[in-house]
Amino acid sequence: VTINRLDYQPTDWLIDHVSLQFELDPTATLVTSELTLSRNPAAGQESNGPGPGLTLQGSDCELRSVSLDGVKLAPEDYQLSATELHIAQLPEHCVLVIVTCINPESNTALEGLYRSSGNFCTQCEAEGFRKITYYLDRPDVLSVFDVTITADVATCPVMLANGNRVSHEVLEGGRHRVQWHDPHPKPSYLFALVAGDLAHIEDHFTTASGRKVLLQIYVEAHNIDRCDFAMSSLKASMRWDEEVYGLEYDLDCFMIVAVDDFNMGAMENKGLNVFNSRFVLADAQSATDTDYMGVEAVIAHEYFHNWTGNRITCRDWFQLSLKEGLTVFRDQSFSSDRHSATVKRIEDVRLLRARQFAEDSGPMAHPIRPDSYIEINNFYTLTVYEKGAEVIRMLHTLLGPVKWRQAMDVYVERHDGTATTCDAFVDAMQTVADVDLTQFRRWYSTAGTPEVRVSEEYDSQNARFHLTLSQSCPDTPGQSDKLPLHIPVVMGLLDQQGNSLSLSNGRALAAAVDSSQTDAQRGVLLDLTEASQTFTFEGVDAAPVVSLLRGFSAPVKLVHDVTDETLAFLMANDPDTFNRWEAGQRLATRLILGVLQEGRINADTLASLGQAWGLILADDSLDMAFKAEALSLPTIDTLEGSLEQVDYQALIAAHAMVSTALAEKHAEALCVLVTETRQAGVALLDPAAMSGRKLANTALALLTWLPESLWGPLAAAQYAAADNMTDRIAALAALCHGDSAARQDCLDDFHAKAIGNRLVMDKWFAVQATSRRSSIVEDVAALLQHADFEAGNPNRLRSLVASFALNNPGGFHAANGQGYRFLADQVIALDSRNPQVAARLVSPLGHWKRLAGPARDLMRQELVRIRDSGPLSPDVFELVSKALQ
Ligand code: ARG
Ligand code: ZN
């Protein structure tokens, strides 16, 4: 069934209060739900006649009884289907009591109430609450929840729900009972319950206005020493939201629970965040620097949802980006404030280009506010999240930081306590903005990645420089002939000596982030709103060099034909460090795509890039993490974005050829970096230490393109000496590309040490799944049979199957189609068990139309095979049928 955005109707009924009672049992949990209902005054009123009936959503729960105002209903008083409970007649105000029985143990889809490591937990977003009880399971029905949990003291000493704990009593027969009250009205998707044998750490946070909040992190007892970093991240997030947005926490306690079986990253349930344990647990022996940054970012993300998501929620699921795009933007800003802003921006842009651009050019292309869906879980996408965050970032750029904050205040003031829309968000921005945002709103309804073509003309006679920008956006399923967007283009002009020119056109950029820069260095903001627009700059004495789209000011593809020298010049001189990196990426892209066209490396371009690398390496004013980014070539999935038809085998070969050439050119310097960049005697998370590791390990990864005799001993030595996971796994990853005795020894050693730590065991699978060995498809198939492989655990499954399909292009696109067949087999095997996770594995197969040669048909055949494999979940059905259309 397709749901359409424009069909939105408010409900006929409101739930003013809900009281839930859980009698927990692994296979037969009884849920009693008491709903205090009233007719919705905002609903379309039919005059006279009987009032509207009530339809509640519910599935996979066994209905035991329904009573209305104390009277038990007979089966003929209601209608029950596999997904709904309908009651035709109810008084305007009434109390409905529904008893259901559910089986958490058999819940392998991990939505609703399920068991993880023997503990009870819930995941209700988007539509999991209906697997617990019959309800108006949609985000615009806000209600006050009271929750009572009864369970065995022995197996469930801990029983948690949203809000504040109001009572605890010990019962007969080894049972006990707690009661929780959440004063903030919320939709059902924010409900949570956790019960089991959990240990916790605790701390306190005093809010700006002096409220003392109890902070707790719950984990299985054996993980209790791995929670400290998450706790300090939480406190930092709480402080940041007060300082940057003036937003304080609003309950007496804030709890985080880590579970091993979780479909996504984490969930912002009010006062009781439930996390995939990989975004909570971290210690020096088990977590890489990237893992630490991931924990910090996800803790922040879920915490920030308390305002942007929970207190102000979505009217309907088409508005998902209202909370997700905004909250991703907020967590990105938080990370950027705490670490290198440029490096954070580079990482975010890499992800966007590699994965969101691919989504935008495939069968699932959709606007950040989609118009229709079959299964909402399929729309928790890079587009809604990451492109959504880019749209928020553009608003931030258009308003400037001061007005942005004022507009956010208006948004919070207007919509606190309500379920609202993306349009209402832009309305709030418009109350403060100087610019008219009417055209900007098209970003919410336009799918696809816009392209901006650039041409330059220098008029020496009049000392004028003309810059022409032309935009277009490719057709996407269901959308063609798109209207121009309002694209904020941050840019600057440099003279031939690298000095920034003062510009006579464009808007000044409000209050600089980097206050050491002059206005000229910062550049200006151009509002590109027409299909084609020429901007003229006066008083330009010589042909300038243009630096466009600084900081990646809009999520577009820039097509700008400049010389290798210009790119090398920008790499060395652009005051915008993001664009220095970008120039290097463009040069590298040109080199790799050149191999595809000419069958060989262009020696001049290689020389330019090689030299530019040399300059970057020698520049001591640059952060080592930035250098690492500058030495990292664009990945295959990013390069793919600049091709119409992709021959993966050829692209991978070209990428390898260029990587090898660059590694050869700098082999000596790279070896020095591997051995000499690490800082001894500093704290693990010291910024310089992290940057040093990043640079050293980037250098090692580059060296693996050369004969193993050159780097193998370095990698083996690094593995043996490593006192942290970042260096250990980087060394192992390098060794995994080869076939040395050290490879097997280190894998065995790593495996032995991983026993008892699931997250480390995940790494053992992932590092093998991303190897460039020619036997990779057989290797991965063999790992499926390994005693430690668990198909039922999403993290383990992703560490093997998704790592292979997404991060191993050479293996996945194997010429004989084996990689595609392998993935399709996994989707088919998983769909009946966990549709959400199965559906996530379909997307790498969705791009067959863009493939060249026999690969195209090989990939398509696998989609057909999934389609014909039997009854599919709506999740997998939607993706497969859209891909085959
Ligand atoms: N709201 C969560 C987050 O981004 C994501 C949970 C989505 N889960 C799902 N099954 N669709 O923080
Ligand atoms: Zn989120």
Does position 514 have pLDDT exceeding 70, yes or no? Answer: no
The per-residue pLDDT for range 246-286, each reduced to its tens digit, is: 999 999 999 999 999 999 999 999 999 999 999 999 999 99
To test the ligand 1 pocket, which listed residue (125, 269, 327) has its Cβ within 8 A of the most ligand atoms? 125
Hey, what are 514's tokens? 């980097």
Which is the closest atom of ligand 1 to the Cα of 298? 12
Catalytic (active site) residue 243: no
Is it the case that residue 47 has pLDDT exceeding 80?
no
* CA separation for the pair 745, 752 (Å, rounded): 11
Share of the chain above pLDDT 90, in %: 96
46: confidence class by pLDDT, cuts 50, 70, 90: low
Q: What separation, in Å, do the N-terminal and C-terminal C-alpha atoms of the chain show?
A: 17
Residue 388's φ and ψ, nearest 5 degrees, are -55, -40
Between 679 and 779, where is the model more confident?
A: 779
Question: What pLDDT, on a 0 to 100 scale, did the predictor assign at position 679?
Answer: 79
Residues 337 and 398 sit within 8 Å (Cβ to Cβ): no
Which residue(s) pair with 3 in the sheet?
A: 373
Grade residue 424 by pLDDT with cuts at 50, 70 and 90: very high
Instruction: Evaluate if residue 512 carries a pLDDT over 80.
Output: no
Can you give the pLDDT at residue 178?
98
pLDDT at 728: 98
Using one digit for the tens of pLDDT, what is the confidence trace for 733-773?
A: 999 999 999 999 999 999 999 999 999 999 999 999 999 99
- Please state the length of the chain: 885
How many angstroms is it from 445 CA to the middle of ligand 2? Answer: 21
Determine the Cα–Cα distance for residues 524 and 491; give it in Å rounded to an integer. 6
Q: Does ipTM exceed 0.85?
A: yes
Across 689-753, where does the E strand assignment appear?
none
CB neighbour class for 171 (10 Å; exposed up to 12, middle 13-18, buried from 19): exposed
Residue-wise pLDDT tens digits, 548-590: 999 999 999 999 999 999 999 999 999 999 999 999 999 999 9
> What's residue 45's pLDDT?
65
Instruction: Round to whole Å and give the CA distance between 822 and 349.
Output: 30
Q: Region 345-363: what's the mean pLDDT?
A: 98
Give me the percent of the chain exceeding a pLDDT of 70.
99
Question: Among 158-162, 510-514, 752-756, which is the least confidently predicted range?
Answer: 510-514
Residue 352 Cα, ligand 2 centroid: separation in angstroms? 16
Give which of 176, 177, 182 is closest to 163, Cα–Cα.
182
Nearest-CA residue for atom 2 of ligand 1: 267
Distance 74 CA to ligand 2 centre (A): 42
pTM of the model: 0.98
Measured between alpha carbons, how far is 527 from 508 in angstroms, rounded to an integer?
Answer: 12
Q: Which residues contact 858 (CB under 8 A, 6 or more apart)?
A: 816, 817, 820
Provide the 10 A C-beta neighbour count for residue 243: 11
List the catalytic residue out of 268, 302, 347, 640: 302
Average pLDDT over residues 113-142: 98
Atom of ligand 1 nearest to the CA of 376: 11
- Is residue 173 within 8 Å of residue 152, measured between CB atoms? no
How many Cα neighbours within 13 Å face the side chain of 370? 26
| Residue that has been written with the tokens 């292009």 in this structure | 809
Q: Tell me what the mean pLDDT of segment 361-375 comes to.
A: 98
Name the residue type at position 185: P
pLDDT one-digit tens code per residue, 393-417: 999 999 999 999 999 999 999 999 9
Residue 48 confidence (pLDDT): 65
What mean pLDDT do residues 37-56 have? 84
Round to whole Å and give the CA distance between 750 and 763.
9
Give the tens place of pLDDT for each residue, 582-615.
999 999 999 999 999 999 999 999 999 999 999 9
Kindly report, residue by residue over 829-857, the tens digit of the pLDDT: 999 999 999 999 999 999 999 999 999 99
Does residue 267's CB lie within 6 angstroms of at least one atom of ligand 1? yes
What does the pLDDT average to over 456-470?
98
Q: Is the CB of 126 under 6 A from ligand 1?
A: yes
Q: Give the pLDDT band of residue 511 (cuts 50, 70, 90).
A: low
Minimum CA distance residue for ligand 1 atom 6 = 267
Mean pLDDT score of the chain, rounded to an integer? Answer: 97
Residue 678's pLDDT band, with cuts at 50, 70 and 90, is confident
Tell me which residue of 762, 832, 753 sits closest to 793, measured CA to CA: 762
Ligand 1 centre to CA of 748 (Å) is 36
What are the residues facing 457 on neighbouring strands?
Answer: 466
Q: Residue 285 and residue 753: Cα distance in Å, rounded?
A: 10
Ligand 1 pocket member 380 (CB < 6 A): yes
